Amino acid sequence: MEKIICFGEVLLRLGPEGYYRFIQADKFVVNYTGAEANVAVALAQFGMKTEVVTKLPNNDIAKAAVATLKKFGAGTENIVYGGDRVGVYFVEKGASQRPSKVVYDRKYSSISFAKQNDFNWDKIFEDASAFIFTGITAALGENLPAILLDACKMARAKGVKVFCDLNYRKNLWTPERAQSVMQELVHYVDVLIGNEEDADKVLGVKAANTDVAKGELDKTSYIDVARKLTERYGCQMIATTLRTSISASDNNWAGMLYTNGKAYFSKEYKIHIVDRVGGGDSFASGLMYGLLNGFESQEALEFAVAASCLKHSIELDFNLVSVSEIEALVKGDGSGRVQR
Amino acid sequence: MEKIICFGEVLLRLGPEGYYRFIQADKFVVNYTGAEANVAVALAQFGMKTEVVTKLPNNDIAKAAVATLKKFGAGTENIVYGGDRVGVYFVEKGASQRPSKVVYDRKYSSISFAKQNDFNWDKIFEDASAFIFTGITAALGENLPAILLDACKMARAKGVKVFCDLNYRKNLWTPERAQSVMQELVHYVDVLIGNEEDADKVLGVKAANTDVAKGELDKTSYIDVARKLTERYGCQMIATTLRTSISASDNNWAGMLYTNGKAYFSKEYKIHIVDRVGGGDSFASGLMYGLLNGFESQEALEFAVAASCLKHSIELDFNLVSVSEIEALVKGDGSGRVQR
Amino acid sequence: MEKIICFGEVLLRLGPEGYYRFIQADKFVVNYTGAEANVAVALAQFGMKTEVVTKLPNNDIAKAAVATLKKFGAGTENIVYGGDRVGVYFVEKGASQRPSKVVYDRKYSSISFAKQNDFNWDKIFEDASAFIFTGITAALGENLPAILLDACKMARAKGVKVFCDLNYRKNLWTPERAQSVMQELVHYVDVLIGNEEDADKVLGVKAANTDVAKGELDKTSYIDVARKLTERYGCQMIATTLRTSISASDNNWAGMLYTNGKAYFSKEYKIHIVDRVGGGDSFASGLMYGLLNGFESQEALEFAVAASCLKHSIELDFNLVSVSEIEALVKGDGSGRVQR
Amino acid sequence: MEKIICFGEVLLRLGPEGYYRFIQADKFVVNYTGAEANVAVALAQFGMKTEVVTKLPNNDIAKAAVATLKKFGAGTENIVYGGDRVGVYFVEKGASQRPSKVVYDRKYSSISFAKQNDFNWDKIFEDASAFIFTGITAALGENLPAILLDACKMARAKGVKVFCDLNYRKNLWTPERAQSVMQELVHYVDVLIGNEEDADKVLGVKAANTDVAKGELDKTSYIDVARKLTERYGCQMIATTLRTSISASDNNWAGMLYTNGKAYFSKEYKIHIVDRVGGGDSFASGLMYGLLNGFESQEALEFAVAASCLKHSIELDFNLVSVSEIEALVKGDGSGRVQR
Amino acid sequence: MEKIICFGEVLLRLGPEGYYRFIQADKFVVNYTGAEANVAVALAQFGMKTEVVTKLPNNDIAKAAVATLKKFGAGTENIVYGGDRVGVYFVEKGASQRPSKVVYDRKYSSISFAKQNDFNWDKIFEDASAFIFTGITAALGENLPAILLDACKMARAKGVKVFCDLNYRKNLWTPERAQSVMQELVHYVDVLIGNEEDADKVLGVKAANTDVAKGELDKTSYIDVARKLTERYGCQMIATTLRTSISASDNNWAGMLYTNGKAYFSKEYKIHIVDRVGGGDSFASGLMYGLLNGFESQEALEFAVAASCLKHSIELDFNLVSVSEIEALVKGDGSGRVQR
Amino acid sequence: MEKIICFGEVLLRLGPEGYYRFIQADKFVVNYTGAEANVAVALAQFGMKTEVVTKLPNNDIAKAAVATLKKFGAGTENIVYGGDRVGVYFVEKGASQRPSKVVYDRKYSSISFAKQNDFNWDKIFEDASAFIFTGITAALGENLPAILLDACKMARAKGVKVFCDLNYRKNLWTPERAQSVMQELVHYVDVLIGNEEDADKVLGVKAANTDVAKGELDKTSYIDVARKLTERYGCQMIATTLRTSISASDNNWAGMLYTNGKAYFSKEYKIHIVDRVGGGDSFASGLMYGLLNGFESQEALEFAVAASCLKHSIELDFNLVSVSEIEALVKGDGSGRVQR
């Protein structure tokens, strides 16, 4: 089986149990996570071979992070060690009208100081069939754009399929900086994932007439954006999740896949949320599973949307579901009847 | 007060807290439960005198199980000791589109190796007014059908009212085996509880045109099945719960009682689920309470449905509610306003 | 900054975690709370200077209570020490059709035996701009009505604005006793908060044709009650929360403010409840914040309703939200999208 | 089997987990306990039939208390209901040089307001062979001395053996009050349990030259006190525990039994403490087991001391050990080797 | 790096937190463990490549077990799937004079029904340098002796070093059965680990004059046993742990290694116990590390004893320490000063 | 009452519960702490007025830190806001031969980038009677030495007594850097606290013939070092704790105070450790309490040592004891008998 390379930061996630706020907590739930690590774990649960590529310090917290990745089946052989710290992010789960809140403490992490020669992409991509990174990785530190460019070029040279989830984070960089970095990288991307805000902020492609905060979805504008992205950057496929936030407790969830000039829209799910962090990553991993296993476009999209629908029912960031569980939902059993 | 005899397996229930999956858990919540034990506990909470009859090994886990039954008021004087193990079942609570998952580890339990002479039914039924068993008990081991036949005959001989909840479990036996066992036993049953799947799989009585997975309810088909069951097996009453699974988090819930050629349908409740395990058992116990206390048919049914509606709002398997709490709901206060 | 004086009992709140019932619990979550303490804490979170005035015993439980108030920013310099016990109340959180249940064990608490000379109102109201008490305080003990009358007179003498939340509790006193006490006190109240049941039971002002248990709201009857209250007692403003209990898990929530012959109604929120205890207190504190900071009537009302809407999404009694979080909701972002 | 009647208060015990102090705790561990309830539970674990006689209010906390007693096998049929509250006591576990700390909130509890006609001793002592009360019960309320006198007289009249553990508590009463009450009651006591402080404060019998705080034990002074007690009050037996407090974490533990002019001293155990609350009660119950089952004096004493030694290794108040576990320790296996 | 093959059962370990007894627990701590799995994990922590060979059912509990092994670095590629159940064992931690208690529920587990052709030893031993099994594995089921004989023969044929820890468990088999099985297997063992009880019960080699329960150690008798074992079975090395149980909280701990007619004794440690389960396995893995890395006899023994000394300070079964932590203790730093 | 100014970093402390290692933890216990914050909290518990001066970022984690300080009575009015992060430190509690382990993640914290003009020492020292800082603060960032020099000069100018605890941390700076910074600052220090390692590494004053790792104490060498320190730097008093580490679970603990050419040695305590982090800070705060309240030297030292002895019995970093609890221990009651 060929490997899928997932490159990005692995962070320590900390947050209160249940619906307590930070100020109330005298315990934090611990997880080791990150957008690309989430993809790696989800794909490993689907039976794929994955490798998390990152840089971590030489300390016991990093060791615990690596053990967690191993537990859930992700490969950790290509992790580079050095630097001072594991990035941290704090999450407080929202409910009803109160949004979830994320406090980042990822500045100065080991990967943010990574250097180009930390990663031997030639070796990393041996026996690899796919590569994924997100816009977050590109935003982490000064050298990351160059490191990613090295990786993308090597991937293309080796015939490795490149996936990118734009994942714009306003607290990591400005749209200007994002565009200056990402516009070059996206030329190497085969499958591009991102919502309208991402397309606008990261790639300067704007959709007309959609107000995300209102939760209204306008199919034509999505198609318009996707078409522009394929034309401008040459990506084969554009995928996006379509989230309607009714409240922090209830969301509607669907997706679109655009390829060869055609847009596919998935079934929409009404989700009662357990933990929505990692929802986008679970869509990306579901899509990768479908596309790497030769699913048709509609089929791959439905798999991705069902996979990420299930993610919202699971605590913490990882999408710990099996292919058969996803397929049961795709086939229409969302009734949640007990499986004995 | 006369006793109600509840015969079946008492298991150790284990499962992660909240909505964590098995693979994430480093603690399991512990309960000691079982379909008939759930009935015994619920009836004890209503002020009835109950006895759990079962077989358990001589070890500390069984002792903890018995202590739990005692805590919630169920009698434990007729428990037989011997064999190797307390059956175990693992439950992972579902949410939204993700169903709850049950992993059984009940094979080789003490009761599954029970023998006919383990139980002195003549003595057990002294001062008893009712007897309940479920189809699960009949499926547990080679000797259980004969043991149950002994019990049913003795109950009838002593004028003890017999209740049976069909509770078909596909991982315990096949429809063929179920039918070969249950068709004989059901002739001794006064009040038979079961849904359409049970009637079909366990007794070979099929309802036309209903697809349970779709959550659609067709009253005429229910009546049809109930009529057939009374005709074929001579039961006085047939009761069934009517569950519409919207998702693992939200269900609609109602019930039907059929007797003397007439079908009664209850009010329907929209339930936001805390723990739905034991929902059927709480219906059975509510119905028993009503019927044994001389309620009219509609009244008994409404009591049973309201009782089991409340069960869904309580953690773990037992229905720990009082008669007055159920009556308040029957009278229409489902608004959940704080009781101070 | 001028102080807000909050006078009432500080209790130890105990209750099972999650949705367990009392009988199932082998741990109780601990908080130190009380209607007026909740107001003090919420206002402190908004950046206001507050003082909790109460009487507590000289023991380690009272010390823990005071530390909790300090943690959340409430002043504790005017607490009087003496007597035997910290009042206790036990809360079991409801869900779906099962209501939350409160068991009070507050009788014989230190404050219930307080005496008039325990409190030096002249000193307490130094640099104070507002005073709040609830009907609960008036009901606690024999001397409390006289103590409150002292306080109200001193407040009026010093130009301190008086807020009162009627908060009728049927297990603390009868309507007759409540009326005999409160009708005098209300003459000193500038802003009176209470729902229809309060107006009826505590002040003998009845609204026609509204059945609270059914969750129906009739605007004209609310206005009618408010008008009568201002006429009869001379209050400047009457405010009320408008709660529609769909179930213990879902409520609709709005408010009305009546002043100068005009009634203002707020936006209504559909709330999925985390913990509704303290919901009324969070409305009172939101309203106080608005009025004390010179908000227009509609604006103050919307702030109060949004503040208390958010309270329902937070565990335990305190409304631990910031002004900016409330303002974001007032401005319409109730979509609960993650804040990174 | 004849019953053992245990009369006293049942309290809610609350305290932080592990070695946290009250002020640090946001959860309290819950138990329902009391000196005589502890005796009833321990004896039930040994296979004896016991009844807890007490008065509790009609609320859910009392129901949880009763369920806990049932769980551990104590009878609850003779509990009287009424009054306002379940007494509470807060415990903070000490360690090393920091002592455990108890905050009582038991004033005004239901039993403290009990009346003589609440208890029908004639009926309670039907089929009873033994009766135990402690000095704590006598100190709880105005009517308790008279109630206890009724009980003692009835016990003597019916040939029920009376055990009394003096258990002096300085925060419940003064030595003067204790002596005025207990000196009369002790005349009905067959087996009296108490340490030197108890003998001095409760019965005015002083031992020379022993400073308990220093942890020094002087056998002759113990014998002297015991002799005086038998002479003055006519008790058949005097028993005492001999605790040497090295620290809150380590104690030495032994006991003395004095009867027929002869003193028996037990083996001494070096105990590493898990929870020492209930240590005295476990000694009393061990002694009762031995004496009621016809053990020789030395044998009964060794059983009592080993039983209470084991109690110190168990969390919370109850001594949840079996007769065979105690006998193994009596026979000398204190090595703590794993039992598989 | 060459692999170390660890063959035996992987169980689900369940037990109360802290020092609670089974009957008190409403949560069980979860671990997935087993004598040989413990060795595999410890060696993986030391940086060795290990493989756990076992048979597990196809269910989510087994998946969680495998994930746990992966987390701590053990290989899981050669696990065979089939059968009904993961064996379970319940552990209640002892303290002071109260011993830890183990309740086994491992009968009927998947491995106990394993067949000879389930395991392809030729393939399993590819690139392997060492093999370890314990007497427990041999006792599990009818076919295990034959399976182990296959493995031992293949190991010898391939030049793989064989380690065996006798680990006699009286509840799994009788001395007669143990001897009939093990006496043949031991002929293939290079390094034999076992205490005197093991030698006596499993191999019929008795040491004179030692009473283990008394915790007395007699060096000459140990040497005598070791000499006999090497003579009778041809093992190159005999190792034993020397445990003196002062109580369940405090043990002294040392070891002996006998080879080439010479006995080496280690330093003795006074241990304050956190969790002693897995203590023997940590000695075995420490010894394997030393011997497989070419340590001198004394050095290997000291490493093994220090490793297992540290295990006693860690919760649950695994010895999660690094080589450098062990070496620091071997060099004499047992002072426990904070490492910053 | 005059204020005590405590200047240093406030960190987020995270660590597993009980004796779990980092790699095992899926929850971390949360505290907000720091050497000087610990002193401020302890003194506040003793009834003193304290102010924590530090720099923290503007985020919710910092808000929780400030709330924690407030809870335990420390003043927070002079905290400066800015920068990126709250420093973090991870603690794993050791036991027996396994040492506690600290992983620091405090680099790049807000205070480490603090600038001289962040702190207005003239205003901070208004109404202040004492100032404390530790060597840790001096080591945190480039500007801290200059900031501390500003503070020390202002303190001296205002007659504020200066305390310094040397607290050498090898992972924060080298002895060379420490000496170049601290030798200047120490000239402003009135009471200097430090052990032999501190004196050697931070101030270049070496004691002969003491090997700390061996836990041996040599009084004459301590006196020698103290004498040299007073001579070289002009401090009025030198204090040191005398810790003998028997293991991570058991320490002996005493202290020395040197002043006016005379050395005072305290009683020594044998401590069974709950949490030893903050032990040194509790000694410093105990000493400050004694000296600022006019205790004699021996008396102040005994108070400090008893205070810090008790700290070891309390979870987490703060010394949450009262003056009366300490005085009881000073007077000799270390027997740990229950306080009711």
- Give the pLDDT confidence of B3-56 residue by residue, as tens digits: 999 999 999 999 999 999 999 999 999 999 999 999 999 999 999 999 999 999
Q: Is residue B124 within a helix (H) or strand (E), and if so which, with residue range?
A: helix B121-124
pTM for the predicted model, two decimal places: 0.96
Q: F71 and C73: CB-CB below 8 Å?
A: no
Condensed to tens digits (0 to 9), the pLDDT of residues D22-46 reads 999 999 999 999 999 999 999 999 9
pLDDT band at C215 (very low <50, low <70, confident <90, very high): very low
Q: Which residues contact D184 (CB under 8 A, 6 or more apart)?
A: D145, D149
Residue B208: pLDDT band by 50, 70, 90 thresholds?
low
Nearest one of C218, C287, C279 to C248, comparing CA atoms: C279
D51-87 burial, b at 16+ Cβ within 10 Å, e below that, comes to: bbbbbbbebbbbbbbbbbbbbbbbbbebbbeebbbbb
Q: Specify the pLDDT at position A38.
A: 98
Q: What does the pLDDT read at residue C334?
A: 79
The confidence band for B215, taking pLDDT boundaries of 50, 70 and 90, is: very low
Does pLDDT of C211 surpass 70? no
- Residue D213 clears pLDDT 70, i.e. is over it: no
Query: Which of these, E269, E236, E336, E307, lies nearest to E38 by C-alpha position?
Result: E307
F246 vs D contacts (CB less than 8 Å): none
- Type and span of the H or E element at D139: helix D135-139
Question: Given pLDDT bands bounded at 50, 70 and 90, which one contains residue D215?
Answer: very low
Are residues F337 and D245, on separate chains, in Cβ contact within 8 Å? yes
Prediction ipTM score = 0.94
Q: Which residue has the tokens 């919420």?
A: C42
Average pLDDT over residues A256-268: 97
Class of domain C3-330: alpha beta
**HEC-encoded secondary structure of B240-303:** EEEEEECCCCEEEEEEEEEECCEEEECCCEEEECCCCCCHHHHHHHHHHHHHHCCCCHHHHHHH
Residue E89, helix vs strand vs coil: strand
User: To the nearest whole number, what is the mean pLDDT of chain E?
Assistant: 95
* Mutant choice from C52, C66, C71, C339 vs F, greatest count of F C-beta within 10 A: C71
pLDDT at position F215 is 46
| Rounded Cα–Cα distance for residues B267 and B286 (Å) | 15
SS (H, E, C) D232-265: HHCCCEEEEEEEEECCCCEEEEEEEEEECCEEEE
CA–CA dist A83, F170 (Å, integer): 18
- Averaged pLDDT for residues D62-85: 98
Residues 6+ apart with CB under 8 A from C27: C16, C17, D17, D27, D28, D29, D30
Q: At residue E214, does pLDDT exceed 70?
A: no
Q: In this complex, do A60 and F107 lie within 8 Å of one another by their Cβ atoms?
A: no
pLDDT band for position B196 (cuts 50, 70, 90): confident
What average pLDDT does chain F have? 95
Answer whether A213 sits within 8 Å of C333, measured CB to CB.
yes
pLDDT at C48: 98
Query: Chain A closest CA to C273's CA: distance in Å?
Result: 7
Q: Which of B23, B24, B96 to mutate to test the interface with A (most CBs of A within 10 A)?
A: B96
Is the pLDDT at A135 greater than 50? The verdict is yes
Residues of F in contact with B24 (CB under 8 A): 26
Exposure of C67 by Cβ count < 10 A (0-12 exposed, 13-18 middle, 19+ buried)?
Answer: buried
pLDDT digits (tens, 9 = 90+) for D95-121: 999 999 999 999 999 999 999 999 999
Contacts of F26 in chain A (CB under 8 A): 29-31
At C162-185, the pLDDT tens digits run 999 999 999 899 999 999 999 999
pLDDT over threshold 60, residue C212: no
- Residues of F with CB below 8 A from D100's CB? 336, 338-339
Mean pLDDT of chain C: 95
* pLDDT given for residue A215 in this prediction: 46
Where in chain B are the domains?
3-330
Torsion sign (Cα): E56, E61, E64, E69: negative
**Pairing between β-strand E128-134 and β-strand C262-265 as defined by DSSP bridges:** unpaired
Per cent of chain D over pLDDT 90 is 91
Q: Which residues of B touch C (CB under 8 A)?
A: 18, 72, 269-275, 306, 309-310, 312-316, 320-321, 325, 329, 333-340
Please report residues of D whose CB lies closer than 8 A to that of B60.
Answer: none
Q: Could you tell me if F181 and F145 are in contact, meaning their C-beta atoms sit under 8 angstroms apart?
A: yes
Q: Which residues of C touch B275 (CB under 8 A)?
A: 19
User: At residue F65, what are phi and psi to the nearest 5 degrees?
Assistant: -65, -45
Q: What is the pLDDT of residues A45-60, one digit of tens each?
A: 999 999 999 999 999 9
Distance separating alpha carbons of residues F108 and C108, to the nearest angstrom:
53
Mutate to test the interface with A, among D22, D26, D27 (most CBs of A within 10 A): D26
- pLDDT tens sequence for chain F (340 residues): 799 999 999 999 999 999 999 999 999 999 999 999 999 999 999 999 999 999 999 999 999 999 999 999 999 999 999 999 999 999 999 999 999 999 999 999 999 999 999 999 999 999 999 999 999 999 999 999 999 999 999 999 999 999 999 999 998 999 999 999 999 999 999 999 998 889 999 999 987 665 555 545 578 888 999 999 999 999 999 999 999 999 999 999 999 999 999 999 999 999 999 999 999 999 999 999 999 999 999 999 999 999 999 999 999 999 999 999 999 999 988 788 888 7
pLDDT-based confidence at residue E215 (cuts at 50, 70, 90) = very low
For residue B102, the tally of other CB atoms under 10 A from its CB is 18
pLDDT (average), residues B50-67: 98
Q: How confident is the model at residue E210 (pLDDT cuts 50, 70, 90)?
A: low
A51 or D334, higher pLDDT: A51
Quick one: pLDDT at residue D219? 85
Chain centroid offset of residue D194 CA: 10
* Residue B42 near residue B285, CB atoms below 8 Å: yes
* SS3 of chain C: CCEEEEECCCEEEEECCCCCCHHHCCEEEEEEECHHHHHHHHHHHCCCEEEEECEECCCHHHHHHHHHHHHCCCECCCCEECCCCCCEEEEECCECCECCEEEEECCCCHHHHCCHHHCCHHHHCCCEEEEEEEHHHHHCCCCHHHHHHHHHHHHHHCCCEEEEECCCCCCCCCHHHHHHHHHHHHHHCCEEECCHHHHHHHHCCCCCCCCHHHCCCCHHHHHHHHHHHHHHHCCCEEEEEEEEECCCCEEEEEEEEEECCEEEECCCEEEECCCCCCHHHHHHHHHHHHHHCCCCHHHHHHHHHHHHHHHCCCCCCCCCCCHHHHHHHHCCCCCCCCEC
The C-alpha atoms of residue F157 and residue D56 are separated, in whole angstroms, by: 66
Asked if C321 contacts C311 with a C-beta cutoff of 8 angstroms, the reply is yes
Nearest to residue A189, comparing CAs of A214, A170, A163? Answer: A163
Identify the band that residue B217 occupies on the pLDDT scale cut at 50, 70 and 90. low
Decide if F245 and E269 are in contact by the 8 Å CB cutoff.
no
pLDDT level of residue E283 (50, 70, 90 thresholds): very high
Interface test with F, best of E302, E324, E338 (most F CBs within 10 A): E338
At residue A96 the predicted structure's pLDDT band, cuts being 50, 70 and 90, is: very high
Helix axes A196-203, A175-185, angle to 10 degrees: 90
Distance in Å, alpha carbon of E33 to nearest chain A alpha carbon: 15
Per-residue pLDDT, averaged over A322-339, amounts to 91
Percentage of chain A lying above the pLDDT 90 cut: 91
